Chain A
Amino acid sequence: QKEVEQNSGPLSVPEGAIASLNCTYSDRVSQSFFWYRQYSGKSPELIMSIYSNGDKEDGRFTAQLNKASQYVSLLIRDSQPSDSATYLCAVNGASNDYKLSFGAGTTVTVRA
Chain B
Amino acid sequence: GAGVSQTPSNKVTEKGKYVELRCDPISGHTALYWYRQSLGQGPEFLIYFQGTGAADDSGLPNDRFFAVRPEGSVSTLKIQRTERGDSAVYLCASSLHDRNTEAFFGQGTRLTVV
B14 interfacial by beta-carbon distance below 8 Å = no
Number of B interface residues in the complex (CB < 8 A): 25
- Shortest C-beta distance, B65 to chain A (Å), equals 15
Residue pair A43, B107 in contact (C-beta under 8 Å): yes
Number of A interface residues in the complex (CB < 8 A): 23
Residue pair A98, B107 in contact (C-beta under 8 Å): no
| Stretch among A55-63, A70-78, A102-110 lining the B interface | A102-110
Closest to A4 in B: B42
CA distance A100 to B31 in the complex (A): 12
A31 interfacial by beta-carbon distance below 8 Å = yes
A13-50 at interface with B (beta carbon < 8 Å)? 31-32, 34, 36, 42-46, 49
Q: Which residues of B contact A (CB under 8 A)?
A: 31, 33, 40-45, 48, 50, 55-56, 59, 89, 91, 98-100, 102-108
Q: Which residues of A contact B (CB under 8 A)?
A: 4, 31-32, 34, 36, 42-46, 49, 51, 88, 90, 92, 98-105
Q: Which 5 A-B pairs give the minimum distances between C-beta atoms?
A: A102-B42, A99-B45, A43-B105, A98-B98, A32-B100
